[in-house]
């Protein structure tokens, strides 16, 4: 059996392509340093930052559900066009599309970011199709096109992607990243398009129909996205597999959430979404409020909660039980230390009527657990990060 396990690891690592990720300053930190965080949160409250596909009012608009890019800390580099034009993108398992700013965008946010120039690319093809994306209160509009996309040395030809023409408001103005590359299932993509990862597989560019994330805890470097294979040196023990319960997001069934053996949320089971495009641990507002009380977090501004930094070592682990396996999240992970000796709770309450018992496990969880996203078998693999 041990020999079979070794063979399995060898198989998972075949044709592995590793893309380094950079840990960046988040939008929240940028807003804070520019003394406009309070104004932003007042204008774009958390409760408006999430839209759901099931009840979208306009079928011509792609609503990005469960997106909270305010605390995103990791980006990768992709190149588009011939010759290549480079962009910093969020590699996001909670959405499916690739989009970047275009040189034709006249919004203030576009001028602060790298923009794609179609006239500089010999492989560019315009589709004639427009797109609209809604990120809570912010909206991005533009047009769809096709061009060569390079990621980690892989060359994805005729890839559909969005080019923004308008990025109104403050959504992207303070973002360190230029655009977003989605890694969820194709059902969340622009109608009639094929996402980047699916094209990599269809074009025979990767060895296996899976990818994996390792997110470093502190260093600016060290985080990686693995395409087409898994490097076992990035985790300890064995991968534990969990079936995807609904193949649109990377959604799984969770058993419970507990503290010191007592269930405090997800009693009787709930759904969880593993999401690299979200930094926090998000869930139903009433359950999150209960957790805030249990960790002695106090309300701060605009839905934020603060914790006494001196109490972190005394706070309990919070246990996420998934498919019969316990995944502890210690206070050192769910309490985020900010500048000026302020510590914030990493839990965020959300009221979403169409998914009343759904949790979103973001980077706080993913920094602790190496995660494999296995499209071939519709499952997620989890193991303690090395």
Radius of gyration of the chain, Cα coordinates, nearest whole angstrom: 20
Cβ-Cβ contacts under 8 Å for 353 (sequence gap 6 or more): none
The total number of residues shown for the chain amounts to 386
- Is 275 annotated in the active site? yes
Question: How does DSSP assign 70-122, residue by residue?
Answer: GG--EEEEEEETTTTEEEEEEEETT---EEEEBTT--SHHHHTS--B-GGG-T
What DSSP element (H or E) covers 284? strand 281-284
Q: CA 154 from chain center: how many Å?
A: 22
Rounded CA-CA distance 75/97 in Å is: 15
Q: How far apart are CA 335 and CA 314, in angstroms?
A: 12
User: Helix, strand or coil for residue 31?
Assistant: helix
Query: What tokens appear for 163 in the block?
Result: 């080019």
Among residues 75, 346, 72, the alpha carbon closest in space to that of 221 is found at: 75
Q: What does the alpha-carbon distance between residue 69 and residue 364 come to, in Å, rounded to a whole number?
A: 14
Residue 92 annotated among the catalytic residues of the structure: yes
Tokens read off for 290: 């209960």
Taking the C-alpha atoms of residue 236 and residue 23, their distance in angstroms, rounded to an integer, is 23
| Range 49-53 contact pairs with CB under 8 angstroms and sequence separation of 24 or more | 49/135, 49/136, 49/137, 50/136, 50/350, 50/352, 51/134, 51/136, 52/352, 52/354, 52/355, 53/188, 53/248
**Cα 312 vs. chain centroid, distance in angstroms?**
26
CB 247 within 8 A of CB 323: no
92, 147, 156, 363: the catalytic one is 92
Instruction: Answer yes or no: are the C-beta atoms of 122 and 307 closer than 8 Å.
Output: no
**Spatial distance between the Cα atoms of 257 and 326, rounded to a whole number of angstroms:** 9
Candidates 71, 170, 275, 374; catalytic one = 275
Catalytic positions are 92, 275
């Amino acid at each position: 059996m041990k020999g079979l396990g070794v063979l399995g690891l060898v198989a998972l690592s075949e044709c592995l392509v590793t893309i380094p990720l950079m840990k960046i300053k988040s939008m929240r930190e940028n807003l804070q340093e520019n003394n406009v965080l309070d104004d932003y949160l007042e204008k774009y409250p958390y409760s408006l930052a999430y839209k759901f596909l099931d009840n979208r009012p306009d079928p011509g608009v792609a609503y990005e559900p469960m997106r909270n890019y305010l605390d995103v800390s990791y980006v990768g580099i992709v190149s588009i066009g011939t010759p290549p034009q480079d962009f910093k993108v969020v590699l996001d398992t909670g959405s499916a599309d690739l989009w970047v700013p275009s040189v034709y965008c006249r919004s203030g946010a576009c001028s602060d970011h790298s923009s794609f120039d179609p006239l500089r690319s010999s492989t560019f093809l315009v589709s004639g199709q427009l797109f609209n994306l809604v990120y809570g209160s912010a909206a991005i509009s533009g047009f769809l096109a096709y061009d060569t996309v390079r990621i980690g040395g892989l060359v994805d030809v005729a890839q559909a992607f969005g080019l923004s023409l308008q990025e109104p408001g403050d959504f992207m103005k303070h973002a360190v990243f230029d655009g977003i590359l989605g890694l969820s299932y194709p059902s969340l993509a622009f109608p009639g398009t094929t996402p980047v990862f699916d094209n990599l597989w269809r074009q025979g560019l990767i060895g296996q129909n899976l990818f994996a994330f390792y997110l470093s805890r502190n260093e600016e470097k060290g985080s990686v996205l693995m395409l087409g294979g898994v490097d076992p040196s990035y985790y300890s023990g064995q991968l534990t597999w969990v079936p995807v319960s609904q193949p649109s997001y990377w959604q799984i069934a969770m058993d419970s959430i507990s503290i010191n053996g007592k269930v405090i949320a997800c009693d009787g089971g709930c759904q969880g979404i593993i999401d690299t495009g979200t930094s926090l641990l998000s869930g139903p507002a009433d359950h999150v409020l209960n957790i805030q009380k249990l960790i002695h977090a106090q309300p701060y501004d605009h839905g934020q909660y603060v914790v006494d930094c001196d109490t972190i070592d005394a706070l309990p682990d919070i246990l996420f039980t998934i498919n019969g396996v316990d995944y502890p999240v210690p206070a050192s992970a769910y309490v985020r230390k900010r500048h000026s000796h302020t510590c914030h709770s990493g839990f965020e309450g959300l009221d979403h009527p169409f998914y009343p018992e759904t949790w979103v496990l973001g980077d706080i969880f993913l920094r602790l657990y190496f995660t494999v996203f296995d499209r071939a078998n519709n499952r997620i693999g989890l193991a303690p990060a090395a």
